[in-house]
Structure 1
C-alpha cells in the first residue's frame, strides 16, 4: 500500500530494465520471450538489471498476441478421497515439468464439473485436465462450449473437445468376481457408489456379469456415497434386514474401509474370517494393518502420462477440436489379507 501523502509506487516496467541495462525495450521483451533471440551478452545485462530491480515480466501482452497462456486448468473435487489428492499431485508435477502453469479449480461435488465452468471461462487457459468424470451430456456440452481441449479420467462421455483416460473398470469387476468365487464365496455382494459415478457402474457391471459365469448372483446390492461413512452406513442398513454376505466388492477403498469397520463393529463379524472384502483405488489406507485391503491400483502414473500425451497432441496444432479419444489403462489387482481366509 502507498503511505498517505507519499509518492505513488508503480511496478517495475520493462522500460526501467532497459534503461538500467542500456538496451532497447524490445531487447528486454525478447529476453523474456521463450522464442526471443538476443545475444548472450544482452541477455546477461538484461537479467542482471531485472534482478537488481526485482522485475517480473507481465505475461498478459504475450498471451494476447499468441492466444496461448501456457496455463492448464486442473479441476479437482472430492479431495477427502486420497486417490484424487494423489492424482492432483501427479498432474501438477508433470505439467510443471513440461513448462505449463497450473490453475487450480476446485468444485464441491466430485461428480459434477458444472461448477468449474465459470472459473475456466474467466481465465484464458489453454486446456483443462481433471481426475473427475463428465457425468452428464449437459456438462459435456457446456465444457465443449469453452472450446479448449479437456482430458478427464473415467468418463463415459466424450466430445470433439473432450478426451478421457479410463481405468479398465469392467475388466477389474470381472477379476473381482473371479477372485471371490475362487475363494469359495457363495453369497457375494456389490456396494456401488452414486448412480452418476459411471466408473463405479462399470465395475459393478463387470462384477455381476462374471459372477453369472460362476453360477452366482449378488446376494445383496447396496448403494451409497463414495465415502467412508457411505460404506459404513450401507452395511449397517444391510445387516438390519438381511444376513451378511460372505464376500463384498466395493466401488472404492473408502467405502470398503467403512464397510469393514461396520462389519466388525455393528455385525460382530471377522474380516476376512466371515466376510472377504475388496475395494478399488489402492489408496494408502488400503495397506494399513487394520484394513489390509485387497484393491485395484488404477496405475495413476500411467493414467497421468496418457492424459499428458492426449494434452500434448491437442496443444501441438492450431487451436481446434482434438478430442473424442478414449485410452484404457488396465487396473492392477493388489491382493492383501482381506481376501485371504485366516489372513
Structure 2
C-alpha cells in the first residue's frame, strides 16, 4: 500500500502549533514569529510535507494551470515551443498541462477534460477551432490563445507567423536563383497556415509569369515522401520547390536520394519552412523560412500575465509576427540528386 502524504495536521502536531499556524507559515504570513516558523519548517522537512494546492485553487478560483493543446509533437517546431512554454510559465508560477489531439480532431475532443481540470487559460496549436468550442470557453471566462494559426474569431487571441509573407519570400528567392519550373508542396489543404503559404507563393510566382505545381498531403516526413513520388511521375521535375514545412522537405530530399531520378533538372533548389534543428544538418543544409517562435511566445506570455494581474483590457486580438529566411546551400549550389 502506498504511504499517505503528510498533512498540515501532522506538521502542526510535530511542531506543537495549530493547523492554522502551519497554513499561515506557508502563505508567507509575516505575523508568524521567526521561532515558530522555524519549528514549522523543520517539522515539514522531517515529514516531507508539501502544501496541498487544491484549497488555494478553491479559494482563489485560479489553478495556475495553462493547457497546451496540440496534435503535432512529431514536428520538432512544436516540441521546441512546448518546452519553451513550460519554462516560461514555470517562471511566473504556472504549470503546463499538455493535451494531444489525434488526426483531424478539434479542440472539442478534449473540451470536457479542459473544463474538468479548471485550467486558467488554453493555448491551442491546432489549426481548426469550432465555434462551439470557442463559445464554451468564452462562456466559462477561459481565455483561448490560437498559437501559430491566424484565426479571426470573436473572443479569441490569435498569434501567428506571417505565412503569406513566407510564401512570397520563398517564391522570390527561388526565382532570383534562376528557378524555371516552380512547385509548392504543402500540408492539409484546409490548414490555414498552409493556405496562406500557398497563396503567397502562388501570387508571387504569377507576378513573374510562373504557374506552380501544387500538391498537398500532411506536415510530415511521410507527406514529403508521398509528394516526392508524385513529382517523379511528372515528365519534367520542377527545379524550384517550396515545401510548407521542413519535414516535408527532408522527406522529399531523402526520397530523391533513394530513388533514381530520370527527369532530374541540372540544379534542384528546395526551401523549407520552420527552421527545425534538422534543417541545418549537413546532409540537408536546407534553406528555410524561420518562424520567430520566441516573439510569438512572448506575446502569449504577456497575455497570460495580464490575465493573472487582472489588467487584460481586450478579450480578443490578432497578432502577426514577421518571418525571415535562413539561407543555406539547398538554394545556392542546390540539392544533389542521383540521376538514372
The answer to whether the superposition gives a TM-score over 0.5 is yes
Which residue among 110, 116, 135 is the counterpart of 1:116?
Answer: 110
Task: Give the stretch that moved more between structures: 233-242 or 178-187.
Answer: 233-242
SS of alignment partner, residue 49 of structure 1: helix
SS of alignment partner, residue 233 of structure 2: helix
Which residue number corresponds to residue 338 of structure 1? 330
Task: Check if 1:313 corresponds to 2:306.
Answer: yes
The residue correspondences of 1:13-162 to structure 2 (distance < 5 A) are: 13-33=7-27, 38-109=32-103, 112-162=106-156
**Closer/same/farther in 2, CA of residues 110 and 72 from structure 1, 3 Å limit:** farther
CA distance in 2, matches of 1:255, 1:202: 17
User: Which consecutive unaligned segments of at least 5 residues does structure 1 have?
Assistant: 3-8
Which residue number corresponds to residue 178 of structure 1? 172
CA positional deviation for 1:289: 1.4
**Closer/same/farther in 2, CA of residues 306 and 286 from structure 1, 3 Å limit:** same
SS of alignment partner, residue 326 of structure 1: strand
**Closer/same/farther in 2, CA of residues 188 and 143 from structure 1, 3 Å limit:** farther
Which residue number corresponds to residue 297 of structure 1? 290
Task: Check if 1:196 corresponds to 2:224.
Answer: no
CA distance in 1, matches of 2:182, 2:29: 61
CA distance in 2, matches of 1:335, 1:106: 33
CA contact (8 A) 1:87 1:131 kept: no
Which residue number corresponds to residue 6 of structure 1? none
CA distance in 2, matches of 1:36, 1:190: 64
SS of alignment partner, residue 238 of structure 1: helix
CA positional deviation for 1:186: 1.4
User: Which consecutive unaligned segments of at least 5 residues does structure 2 have?
Assistant: 336-340
CA distance in 1, matches of 2:308, 2:235: 54
Which residue among 217, 226, 233 is the counterpart of 1:224?
Answer: 217
Task: Give the stretch that moved more between structures: 225-234 or 72-81.
Answer: 72-81
CA contact (8 A) 2:125 2:149 kept: no
SS of alignment partner, residue 270 of structure 2: strand
CA positional deviation for 1:37: 5.5
Task: Check if 1:280 corresponds to 2:273.
Answer: yes
CA positional deviation for 1:33: 2.4
Task: Check if 1:215 corresponds to 2:215.
Answer: no
Q: Cα deviation per residue 1:106-133 (whole Å; 9 max; x = unaligned)? A: 2223773332212211201111223333
Q: Cα deviation per residue 1:229-268 (whole Å; 9 max; x = unaligned)? A: 1111112123214421110001100011111223343352
SS of alignment partner, residue 302 of structure 1: helix
Q: Cα deviation per residue 1:39-82 (whole Å; 9 max; x = unaligned)? A: 43333222111111221211111111110111111223221111
**Closer/same/farther in 2, CA of residues 270 and 237 from structure 1, 3 Å limit:** closer
Q: Cα deviation per residue 1:131-153 (whole Å; 9 max; x = unaligned)? A: 33344444434444553112221
CA distance in 1, matches of 2:158, 2:242: 25
Task: Check if 1:243 corresponds to 2:236.
Answer: yes
SS of alignment partner, residue 80 of structure 1: coil
CA distance in 2, matches of 1:57, 1:48: 14
CA positional deviation for 1:276: 0.7
CA contact (8 A) 1:193 1:224 kept: yes
Scaled by the length of structure 2, the TM-score of the pair is 0.89
RMSD: 2.5
CA distance in 2, matches of 1:272, 1:292: 19
